[in-house]
Amino acid sequence: MPGGSDIRVGLIGFGLGGATFHAPLIATTKGMRLAAVVTSDPGRRAQAERDHPGVSVVPSADALWERAGELDLIVVTTPNRTHVPLATAALEHGLHVVVDKPFAPTAAEGQRLVDEARRRGRVIVPFHNRRWDGDARTLRRLLDEGALGEVHRFESRYERWRAVRKPRWCEPDAHANAEGIIYDLGTHLVDQALWLFGHVTHVYAETDRRHPDVTVEDDAFLALTHASGVRSHLHARMNAAQLGPRMNVLGSRAAWVKYGMDPQEEALKAGGRPGAPAWGEEPNDRWGRLGAGDDVRPVRTEPGVYPRFYEGVVRAARDGAPPPVAPEDAVAGLAVIDAAYRSAADGRVAAVER
């Protein structure tokens, strides 16, 4: 792309992820322009044209490849089974790529994507936006400050209370298509644990199907052993009638307990846009509490800043800066997920293959 010109983005998929997360973030990022959207749904086409005046809407990825020379970056936010083939096709057309989670169904497939991007000299970035949740950013700061002392246990939850399941979770070949709660919410939990506490050596996992219609897990528990000695206990479920703490972090000096989800997702779903006053700010009655025994105090939650993801993509694609999320990090997370499925299948602790 010419120096200083906007990065022209083609967005493949305009469902919840494309319309609610990617398109608004791209549209409000300096140095980016949403040039094209792929959707064959008439209603989504009308929404894209209404929300993003001037965008070109095409019905298929093949139609997008015909105009690849007019683009610089492709964002893949489609059914999980299509992530690898679409990302590979984008690389073959000489384009940089952002891939929504999961980056790939397995670590081996993810590594092949990384190798292909490196061979072609293109940037490929996993969309692990939850690193920019306010709770994750606050914990990162507390760790850097040493406020907790030596951390020995990290408990993290993404829980929902949902009567209706995703249709793709009810298909006979759902697991082969990389569907299920581990690939969904679990991807974020695993990525945050690795980002905060480093390499994982072993995994123990339990999975269940609580809804009668699903063919893949909708309830999962993962216990990770980090090389650093930290133990991460991760919970992802769709059947939580009452929600536990979002994070509970236990250290030698203090604990930090945080309830409630980052507000950015709900703001985006409600039509909010980054740059609005107090974007990502959390009310003080939802701040986490830090301390030990009776000496406990609220700690202000760092603002959530999803815009930093695409700001980092601009720097990586235009200036050669490190990507905001290294693709190797996604491969490491997939290795943990691979081990989790092996553990859940045989009921034993599984080593993480590197």
CATH of the domain at 68: 3.40.50.720
Paired residues of 257 in beta bridges: 248, 289
Determine, yes or no, domain membership for 176: yes
Q: Is there a single domain that holds both residue 60 and residue 198?
A: no
Q: Is 277 left (phi over 0), alpha (psi -120 to 50) or beta?
A: beta
Query: What are the E-state strand segments in the chain?
Result: 7-12, 32-38, 56-58, 73-76, 96-100, 124-127, 151-159, 200-208, 219-226, 231-237, 247-251, 255-258, 288-292, 295-299, 350-351
> Do 105 and 85 share a domain, yes or no?
yes
Same domain, 153 and 271: yes
For the chain, how many structural domains are there in total? 2
pLDDT given for residue 1 in this prediction: 57
Share of the chain above pLDDT 90, in %: 97
- Can you give the pLDDT at residue 165? 86
pLDDT band at 3 (very low <50, low <70, confident <90, very high): low
For residue 180, how many other CB atoms are within 10 A of its CB? 27
The two tokens of residue 3 are 């120096």
pLDDT digits (tens, 9 = 90+) for 62-115: 999 999 999 999 999 999 999 999 999 999 999 999 999 999 999 999 999 999
135-172 pLDDT, tens per residue? 999 999 999 999 999 999 999 999 999 888 899 999 99
| Residue 59 to residue 37: CA distance in whole angstroms | 8
91 and 220: one domain?
no
What's 143's domain CATH number?
3.30.360.10
DSSP secondary structure code for residue 302 in this structure: P
User: Is 252 in contact with 175 (CB distance < 8 Å)?
Assistant: no
Task: Indicate whether 140 and 100 sit together in one domain.
Answer: no
Tell me the per-residue pLDDT of 246-261, one tens digit each, with 9 for 90 and over: 999 999 999 999 999 9
pLDDT value at residue 295: 97
328 belongs to a structural domain: no
Q: Global pTM?
A: 0.96
293 and 144 within one domain: yes
Q: What is the mean pLDDT of residues 51-61?
A: 97
pLDDT value for 164: 83
Q: Which two tokens stand for residue 15?
A: 């469902």
Higher pLDDT among residues 229 and 4, named by residue: 229
Residue 43 and residue 189 in one domain: no
Same domain for 97 and 184: no
Nearest to 50 by CA among 248, 271, 199, 231: 271
The answer on 216 and 290 residing in a single domain is yes
Q: Would you state the pLDDT for residue 163?
A: 82
Same domain, 238 and 145: yes
- Which amino acid makes up residue 108? A
Is 193 among the domain residues?
yes
pLDDT of residue 2 exceeding 60: no
Q: Is residue 142 part of a domain?
A: yes
Contact between 156 and 193 under an 8 Å Cβ cutoff? The reply is yes
Q: What is the mean pLDDT of the chain?
A: 97
- Evaluate whether residue 14 is within a structural domain: yes
Q: Answer for the pair 206, 221: CB distance below 8 angstroms, yes or no.
A: yes
Residue 243 maps to a domain: yes
Interval 193-204 mean pLDDT: 98
Assess whether 148 and 105 both reside in one domain: no
Task: Provide the domain limits for residue 123.
Answer: 7-129+309-321
The answer to whether residues 184 and 259 belong to one domain is yes
What are the tens digits of pLDDT across the range 238-248? 999 999 999 99
Task: Over range 13-24, report the average pLDDT.
Answer: 97
Q: Is residue 59 reached through a cis peptide bond, with omega within 30 degrees of 0 on the bond before it?
A: no
